[in-house]
Chains A and B, each alone.
Chain A
Amino acid sequence: MNRIQAKLQENKKLLSIYFTAGYPNLNDTVTTIQNLEKNGVDMIEIGLPFSDPLADGPTIQASSTQALQNGMTSTLLFDQLKDIRKTVSIPLILMGYFNPMLQYGVEAFCKKCQEVGIDGLIIPDLPVEVYHEEYKAIFDRYGLLNIFLITPQTSEARIRYMDSISDGFIYMVSSASTTGSQSGFGGKQTDYFKRIADLELTNPQIIGFGISDHKSFNQATQYAKGAIIGSAFIKYVTAHGIDDLGAFTQPLLKK
């Protein structure tokens, strides 16, 4: 069983954290992952920086630009991660835009992911249809789960299509927005969370975008298996570095 699938079967709400590889410093990647696991995080999304991250707001954009200036590349990231499975056991997901993957070679990229112990991929600009027709067989061959995003505007038919070809979780984007553009949820969003929960999909849902603190984390996990925090974490490491990540995760995880 894939580590993501095993984690999803645990009887708890999951906290997933996104960070940009190579940020704030080029060689922070491994320590960030280790410190997040030590501090109770259930799953990690490792962001592969891209020059033109269309779905991201200013915070993640700035961290990507800095990571690229620091010298981060696909090759270097795989190199940094080569021994990660000696020390880290929680699921690791690589999140990146399609073009760097395409240049690396999709098959070579997937093979490398498997070698270092990546469990799944999130590729915001790879549409589900193209994935299904051209790349699913490759992902399957290397044991990688592809995670699809849905939004409040995604039709039920389309959600069911994604559900039918997923074996992990569905990434619910909390509102129609880029990352980091809001905080907390109103009635419109909780209605949407309920609507999706009522679909009784095969794959559990994890909510992302707009989650920054204990309150929004609890709101989201009332309706979903877990929640993902990205921009708020990037802001934290920008201000405080990566040594004391407990100060970020403890308030989130308190009962």
Chain B
Amino acid sequence: MSYHVNEKGYYGQFGGAFIPEMLYPNVEELRQNYLKVMAEPDFKKEFDQLLRDYVGRPTPLYFAKRLSKKYNTKIYLKREDLCHTGAHKINNTIGQILMAKRLKKKRIIAETGAGQHGVATATVCALAGLECIVYMGEIDIARQAPNVARMKMLGAEVRPALSGSRTLKDATNEAIRDWINNPVDTHYIIGSAVGPHPYPDMVARFQSVVSEETKWQLKTVEGRENPDYMVACVGGGSNAAGAYYHYLNEPSVKLIAVEAAGKGIYTGESAATSVLGKEGVIHGSKTLLMQTNDGQITEPYSISAGLDYPGVGPMHAHLYETKRAEFISVTDDEAMTAGLELSQLEGIIPAIETSHALAIFETKKFKPEEVVVISLSGRGDKDLNTYIDYFKL
């Protein structure tokens, strides 16, 4: 079985491009060109050089000695938190801005929830000298003021999404509507492994540098390319897509996807899509999503804005359905505790998204000789206010 996208844009039964005709030319242009552009030697050279000199890659694969000792196994942290702008998000925005330039686009739009992808997009737009408009839910604008300020300082315009629940889902709707109204000169940089084909595959490919580096780094320190487990948190799924990518067809590597259970899976305040979701269509792809029996998309909840999304990328829906990946749900409380623990055992304050992945050690046991790699997708600076409120710091 292949876990990669097929020629029609599907991962098993999930994926595709369920888009209004108004979007067809934009998406089709991208579909016809993305693989060709990514294979051009000039493109690769520029992408690799920016990842190295601008983003700061390769990011370290760090053996977490004290954490490993506590849980009696070998834990490595893939340090995406050390990327420029503080998270893995920039791997994708660098790739997509180079793609947009080659497709001769003049204007960039993006959606953002907590603001991390918005900041990563504003950053690459400044780098490339392109106009940047970021859609952000009105509610998120209020609660993520520092990231709004960062985007503005980087020269982006932040437009409030006033419809629906005024959060990430609605910001995505507004970005799609903008693209419908600007079909010729605009490229939409989607921040996660979601959306119509070819977005999930393109984003996964730009993020795949994470597992590509892990392979040779692990070979150097452990004498083998493959860990026993690769662990990542999943909201839409971009960081997990990158962490899994080169291991998808390596059955010896067990994949663990950690979702946000919020206040508890069945409390009505959760974002555990694999448990609570059903097959449906959201933002242009067929995937698992949280919805009513009538097919209306519902609002998820998580303390972490980056995991607060009612769907999951189609690649992940397929990994869940085929049981290629094990899905674990972690509550707000478990995640916050794990974030504090990593801070005090290793001196690394993780993003709350990442804290979810770190929380699995309390419930899932590993053998002493097993190698567990965690994608440390982002740093916790953006979450300080939430940590302060939670721990009364």
**Hey, which bits of chain A sit against chain B, CB under 8 A?**
50-52, 54-55, 57-58, 61-62, 65, 68, 73-75, 97-104, 124-128, 130, 148-151, 153-155, 158, 173, 176-178, 181
7 A-B pairs in the complex with CB atoms less than 8 angstroms apart: A54-B177, A54-B283, A61-B164, A74-B294, A154-B24, A173-B22, A176-B180
Most buried by A among B162, B293, B298: B293
Specify which chain B residues have a CB less than 8 angstroms from the CB of A151 in the assembled complex. Answer: 21-22, 25, 183
Does B291 contact A99, Cβ atoms closer than 8 Å?
A: yes
Given contacts A99-B297, A100-B294, 19 further A-B contacts (CB under 8 A): A51-B164, A51-B297, A52-B170, A52-B282, A54-B19, A54-B20, A54-B177, A55-B22, A55-B177, A68-B296, A102-B279, A102-B281, A102-B295, A127-B21, A149-B22, A153-B183, A153-B184, A176-B22, A177-B181
CB-contact partner of A100 in B164, B182, B279, B296, under 8 A: B296
Size bin of chain B's contact surface: 35 or more
Question: Which B-chain residue is minimally distant from A68 (CB atoms)?
Answer: B296
Chain B 10-30 residues near chain A, CB threshold 8 A: 16-22, 24-25
Does A99 contact B164, Cβ atoms closer than 8 Å?
A: no
Does A125 contact B163, Cβ atoms closer than 8 Å?
A: no
Q: How far is the CA of A124 from the CA of B22 in the complex (A)?
A: 9
Does B295 contact A101, Cβ atoms closer than 8 Å?
A: yes
Q: How far is the CA of A149 from the CA of B21 in the complex (A)?
A: 6
Is residue B60 within 8 Å, beta carbon to beta carbon, of the partner chain?
Answer: no
Specify which chain A residues have a CB less than 8 angstroms from the CB of B169 in the assembled complex. Answer: 52
Specify which chain B residues have a CB less than 8 angstroms from the CB of A99 in the assembled complex. Answer: 280-282, 291, 295, 297
Min CB gap B284→A, angstroms: 7
Specify which chain A residues have a CB less than 8 angstroms from the CB of B162 in the assembled complex. Answer: 58
Q: How far is the CA of A176 from the CA of B176 in the complex (A)?
A: 12
Does B177 contact A75, Cβ atoms closer than 8 Å?
A: no
Does A149 contact B20, Cβ atoms closer than 8 Å?
A: yes
Q: How far is the CA of A124 from the CA of B177 in the complex (A)?
A: 13
Chain B 277-317 residues near chain A, CB threshold 8 A: 278-284, 291, 293-298
Does B21 contact A65, Cβ atoms closer than 8 Å?
A: no
Contact digits for B14-56, partner A, Cβ 8 Å, 1 yes 0 no: 0011111110110000000000000000000000000000000
Most buried by B among A75, A127, A154: A127
Min CB gap B346→A, angstroms: 40
Min CB gap B124→A, angstroms: 25
Contact digits for B159-184, partner A, Cβ 8 Å, 1 yes 0 no: 00011100001100100110011111
Q: How far is the CA of A51 from the CA of B165 in the complex (A)?
A: 10
Min CB gap B105→A, angstroms: 15
Most buried by B among A52, A101, A154, A158: A52
Q: How far is the CA of A177 from the CA of B7 in the complex (A)?
A: 29
A-B contact count (CB 8 A): 114
Specify which chain B residues have a CB less than 8 angstroms from the CB of A52 in the assembled complex. Answer: 164, 169-170, 173, 282-283, 297
**Hey, which bits of chain B sit against chain A, CB under 8 A?**
16-22, 24-25, 162-164, 169-170, 173, 176-177, 180-184, 278-284, 291, 293-298
Does A103 contact B20, Cβ atoms closer than 8 Å?
A: no
Question: Which B-chain residue is minimally distant from A98 (CB atoms)?
Answer: B281
Does B177 contact A127, Cβ atoms closer than 8 Å?
A: no
Does B295 contact A100, Cβ atoms closer than 8 Å?
A: yes
Does A150 contact B18, Cβ atoms closer than 8 Å?
A: no
Q: How far is the CA of A97 from the CA of B176 in the complex (A)?
A: 15
Specify which chain A residues have a CB less than 8 angstroms from the CB of B170 in the assembled complex. Answer: 52
Question: Which A-chain residue is minimally distant from B25 (CB atoms)?
Answer: A153
Specify which chain B residues have a CB less than 8 angstroms from the CB of A126 in the assembled complex. Answer: 18
Min CB gap B198→A, angstroms: 14
Specify which chain A residues have a CB less than 8 angstroms from the CB of B293 in the assembled complex. Answer: 103
Q: How far is the CA of A103 from the CA of B181 in the complex (A)?
A: 29
Specify which chain B residues have a CB less than 8 angstroms from the CB of A154 in the assembled complex. Answer: 21, 24-25
Specify which chain B residues have a CB less than 8 angstroms from the CB of A98 in the assembled complex. Answer: 18, 281
Question: Which B-chain residue is minimally distant from A103 (CB atoms)?
Answer: B295
Question: Which A-chain residue is minimally distant from B165 (CB atoms)?
Answer: A51
Most buried by B among A62, A68, A97, A155: A97
Question: Which A-chain residue is minimally distant from B182 (CB atoms)?
Answer: A176
Min CB gap A160→B, angstroms: 14
Specify which chain A residues have a CB less than 8 angstroms from the CB of B181 in the assembled complex. Answer: 176-178, 181
Min CB gap B35→A, angstroms: 20
Question: Which A-chain residue is minimally distant from B21 (CB atoms)?
Answer: A149
Are A127 and B22 CB-contacts (below 8 A) given A102-B295, A177-B181? no
Specify which chain A residues have a CB less than 8 angstroms from the CB of B173 in the assembled complex. Answer: 52, 54
Specify which chain A residues have a CB less than 8 angstroms from the CB of B296 in the assembled complex. Answer: 50-51, 68, 100
CB-contact partner of A55 in B180, B291, B294, B297, under 8 A: B180
Q: How far is the CA of A173 from the CA of B21 in the complex (A)?
A: 9
